[in-house]
Amino acid sequence: MPHVDPSSPTLARTTPELHQVRAGRRGAPLVVLIHAVALDLTYWDRQFGALAESFDVIAYDLAGHGASPAPGQPFGFDDAAEDLARVIEAAGAGPACVVGLSVGGMIAQTLALARPDLVRALCLMDTVSTFADAGREAVRGRAAQVRAGGMEAILAPTLERWFTPGFAARRPDVLDRVAKTLRAADPDVHAAMWDMISTLDVAPRLTEIDRPTLVMVGEKDPTTPVAASEVIARGIPGARLEIIPDASHMAPLEAPEEVNRHLLGFLNGL
């Protein structure tokens, strides 16, 4: 399966503002992939190639992530959704099937509410629609830790939340790769991202989303647990929930075959 390689000549940038790659079948349904906080578009490598066999696929780096420039002003979910809207509009192939992991799923929900004309379908992975007070404070606490001690301050607990112990033992190479990416991240940008995440509260509006929706979550995800995905699946009319066995928060990395099976089945059935 091909990897996402931003330098590959077969992958074309589509807008100058955000770094992105595009491949697959032009004229086929558009799929846009949104990565998790502090990562980048290359973490979709196990999904990107599989999707590109049948779809027109774009993966992009969120503002301040990967090769995308940091936002020059305070940044909220409306801004992130506007960035996503710009990616879809510039592709000239929308509406898009929007696939978001963690904060990517939060941005996808925000866009579906703000610009439903740009959304054909949603796949929301290991994400939430709101937080209880304790969860909101925990996210703000991560922002404070990063401001005080840099990315190293949250590295070990993040890896522990994101991956099951079994996967960590089997695939230390994946954890090493993620750790390297986290260490290289800009602490100011990512503290601001966690502050943004702490503001999310779209749960009361989920019934307004009228697009086909697949919700996926790792069975052992402590960060955005199964119960949070159940809230989303109950709230969005007709949404389908799939629980990925023995996976944690990074289900697309821990269980790519299972994730791809559900994702391709959903997209091919639209």
Task: Give 74's pLDDT tier (boundaries 50, 70, 90).
Answer: confident
Say whether pTM exceeds 0.85.
yes
pLDDT at 64: 94
Q: How confident is the model over 244-259, as a mean pLDDT?
A: 98
More confident residue, 4 or 50: 50
What confidence tens digit (pLDDT) does each residue in 179-214 have? 999 999 999 999 999 999 999 999 999 999 999 999
* pLDDT more than 90, % of the chain: 91
Q: What's residue 73's pLDDT?
A: 78
Whether 165 has a pLDDT exceeding 90, the answer reads yes
Confidence (pLDDT) at 124 = 99
Element (H, E) at 140: helix 133-149
In the prediction, which pLDDT does 1 show? 34
**Topology (CATH) of 20-130+201-268:** Rossmann fold (3.40.50)
pLDDT greater than 80 at residue 243? yes
Q: At what angle do helices 77-91 and 103-114 cross, to 10 degrees?
A: 70
What confidence tens digit (pLDDT) does each residue in 77-131 have? Answer: 999 999 999 999 999 998 999 999 999 999 999 999 999 999 999 999 999 999 9
Tokens read off for 176: 């090493």
Q: What percentage of the chain reaches a pLDDT higher than 70?
A: 94
Instruction: Give the pLDDT score at 217.
Output: 99
Nearest alpha-carbon partner for 77 in 189, 162, 195, 229 = 195
pLDDT at 82: 95
Q: Residue 107: helix, strand or coil by DSSP?
A: helix
Indicate whether 72 pLDDT > 80: no
Of 195, 106, 194, nearest in space to 158 by CA? 194
DSSP label at 65? S
* pLDDT the model gives residue 17: 81
- Model confidence at 14: pLDDT above 60: no
Alpha-carbon span 256 to 270, nearest angstrom: 21
